[in-house]
Homo-oligomer: A and B are copies of this chain.
Amino acid sequence: MSYYLGIDLGGTRIKIGLSDDYQLIEIQNVKASREKGFQYNMKIIVEAAVGMCSENEISQYDINSIGFAFPGLVNSKAKKVIATNAKYNDAVGFDWDKWAKENFGAAIYLENDARMACIGEWRHGAGVPYTDLIVITLGTGIGTAVVMDNKLLKGKHFQAGNLGGHFSVNYDGRLCTCGNRGCVEAEASTVVLKQLVSNHPDFSTSKLVNLEEISFNNLFELADHDKVALDVRNQCLDIWSAAVISYIHAFDSEAVILVGGIMNSKDVILPYIEEKVNELAWTPWGKVAILSADLNDSAGVIGALHMAQKI
């Protein structure tokens, strides 16, 4: 029997999955400490993965191969992190083969995290029926990955389809952490939510004033009873819709799959974006399917396990 690890390193959580040739054995969810840097988190990962192995009565050296989802631009061929956007910057230059070999005696496949989530949904989730799709991860930032003609889109420098969060939807808009202006991520993501809310002219009268932390979850919850929450929610939905339409125009996708904790509110998000896309996207062939992820938060780790088994 062969065993596989799938690892999805996020800014706040690390997900680690263990499987054999036939089935998923377990997924563990570990706290990331982004502020302590990349190397520190890699140690946490080894510790947790070794623990998972021994709980399941296998040795860490029984791991055949590892799929690793990293939050930054990745050259999957050379197994290198190309660039990060203010997250785990010290991962550029890291020797992934060495790390996998020394700690697990295993081979490793490294890929960008949105691409891994895309692989997960495309091979095992909501994307199974489609040959051309885009996966959008809505979280602290916004990530995208694209499948065209049943192949993961990579591009000359491994960044095609990966930078949908950095399409400008407002050419004169907010400065993004990437340096560009009016990126989707800079206009409507968790990073800027507090600013969006506090810039609303009626902010002082809003229930949001009393909250210590403003998340999309409480924004969506309050929207039915609070004008500021409703306005900002709709503004974000309009921005995501505009972005989704540009993605469809770019990649000619037949399906769009949204991933992230925010999809708890999929009953509001999906029909809103679907209506905008039906009305505004130029798709004379028919209607684009607007879907929420089947695997949701586990899409990345399932994608990583899928690729580990393909090495």
The CA-CA distance from A104 to B182 in the complex, in Å, is 52
The CA-CA distance from A311 to B160 in the complex, in Å, is 30
The CA-CA distance from A209 to B206 in the complex, in Å, is 47
Report B-chain residues with C-beta under 8 Å of the C-beta of A172: 170, 238
Contact check, A156 vs B148: say whether CB atoms are below 8 A apart: yes
Give the Cβ gap from A282 to chain B, nearest Cβ, in Å.
5
Interface string of A123-148 (1 = CB under 8 A from B): 00000000110000000000000001
Contact check, B252 vs A250: say whether CB atoms are below 8 A apart: no
For A246, the closest partner residue in chain B by CB is B167
Answer yes or no: A281 CB below 8 A from chain B CBs: yes
A selection of 28 A-B contacts at a CB cut-off of 8 Å is A73-B284, A82-B284, A85-B282, A132-B155, A132-B156, A148-B155, A155-B252, A156-B254, A157-B254, A157-B283, A158-B252, A159-B249, A159-B285, A160-B252, A163-B249, A164-B250, A166-B245, A166-B246, A167-B250, A168-B169, A168-B243, A168-B246, A170-B170, A171-B241, A180-B282, A182-B242, A246-B246, A250-B250
The CA-CA distance from A239 to B169 in the complex, in Å, is 11
Contact check, B249 vs A166: say whether CB atoms are below 8 A apart: yes
For A254, the closest partner residue in chain B by CB is B156
For A178, the closest partner residue in chain B by CB is B282
Answer yes or no: A179 CB below 8 A from chain B CBs: yes
Answer yes or no: A67 CB below 8 A from chain B CBs: no
Answer yes or no: A306 CB below 8 A from chain B CBs: no
Answer yes or no: A202 CB below 8 A from chain B CBs: no
Answer yes or no: A270 CB below 8 A from chain B CBs: no
* Other-chain residue from B167, B182, B280 in contact with A249 (beta carbon distance below 8 A): B167
Q: Known contacts A83-B284, A148-B160; is A170 also within 8 Å of B171 by CB?
A: yes
Contact check, A179 vs B283: say whether CB atoms are below 8 A apart: no
Copies in the complex: 2
Interface string of A64-76 (1 = CB under 8 A from B): 0000000001000
The CA-CA distance from A60 to B159 in the complex, in Å, is 48
The CA-CA distance from A286 to B44 in the complex, in Å, is 34
Chain A binding surface, main DSSP class = loop
| Chain A interface, number of residues (Cβ within 8 angstroms) | 52
The CA-CA distance from A149 to B160 in the complex, in Å, is 11
Contact check, B245 vs A155: say whether CB atoms are below 8 A apart: no
Give the Cβ gap from A176 to chain B, nearest Cβ, in Å.
9
Contact check, A242 vs B157: say whether CB atoms are below 8 A apart: no
Report B-chain residues with C-beta under 8 Å of the C-beta of A167: 167, 246, 249-250
Which interface residue of A149, A154, A285 has the most chain B CB atoms within 10 A? A285
* Other-chain residue from B83, B132, B148, B242 in contact with A168 (beta carbon distance below 8 A): B242
Answer yes or no: A161 CB below 8 A from chain B CBs: yes
Report B-chain residues with C-beta under 8 Å of the C-beta of A249: 159, 163-164, 166-167
The CA-CA distance from A292 to B89 in the complex, in Å, is 36
Report B-chain residues with C-beta under 8 Å of the C-beta of A96: none
Q: Known contacts A171-B169, A179-B282; is A156 also within 8 Å of B252 by CB?
A: yes
